[in-house]
Structure 1
Amino acid sequence: MTAAHRTARFARLTILAAASLLLAAFFAFVGYMKGFAPLMELAKHGAWTVHLPPPLGRAMGYSEMGCALLLLAGLARPAWGMWGAAILFVNQLAAAAVHMAMGETGALPQNAVILTLCALIAWLQRARRAPLISGPASPPRDR
């Protein structure tokens, strides 16, 4: 591996770690709030889950906390980070849909930023699983 490849790999890992830590901290906090805070408190802060049946809203909070753990675990196990980012991507699509349906368009920029970070994390995790440089194909072995 050349110095340029090592530098590029270090840069990707640094960006991946920063984005994963940022989103994990965010989703651990908001997931905890959605899972355990009174619904009136959530309504004051514009949580999209107040528009869902309470058990489903609470389940969304628990899933966000679980995905925060997957993002952290993804720093050691790329597949776990990809799953966490993918689930949170779908979560934010649902959040954006609920915000639009309720006329809460002020929350959409936040959803867009989170969607972008989730896509970035999933892409960087996928890149970690693939070889950095593909070598020539091995000739078939005789059996």
Structure 2
Amino acid sequence: MKKSFLHILALGLVFVSCSNDDDNSATDFKGITYKLIEVNVETPQDVNGDGKANRNEMLETDCYQNTQIVLESPTDFYNVTQKFGHLDRGLEVSTSCQSNDYNGTYELSEKQLVLKDKDQKEETFQIVGDQLKVSYDWTFFDGDLTKKVEFVYQKQ
């Protein structure tokens, strides 16, 4: 009886250890989307002329709407869809929108996401909970004005 019990137990362990529930196969990858939710600048601005200055430029212009990062496969391709604003026109600050889409590779770790475009230019995003954060220095008026900006993306 003890021998039969040990055989059944051993057989059960084989089935459990051979289970594919823990496999991380490419066919199980569903894609990950991060949507831009904030474009924060140091000094609040009233770009849209409504009398309310905001640090988050997304509240001042619709140029950033639908900007997102989509990780399409578990290892190497991403798609970035951007619609963004430019606030520099000579000596006048105004809003105009441009669109840009591009693909490349990425590396994802616990703390950061590194995107690499086809020219091998890298962008590093810090992962904070379900958000991606990246900061830039924007220059205006032929380099006479620089401002820091932080983009915040929310995992969908």
Q: Is TM > 0.5 for Structure 1 vs Structure 2?
A: no
| Bigger proportion of residues as strand | 2
Sort the TM-score into its range (normalised by shorter chain).
under 0.3
| Bigger proportion of residues as helix | 1
TM-score (norm. length: structure 1)? 0.25
TM-score (norm. length: structure 2)? 0.24
Structure ranking higher on relative contact order (CA contacts 8 Å, 6+ apart): 1
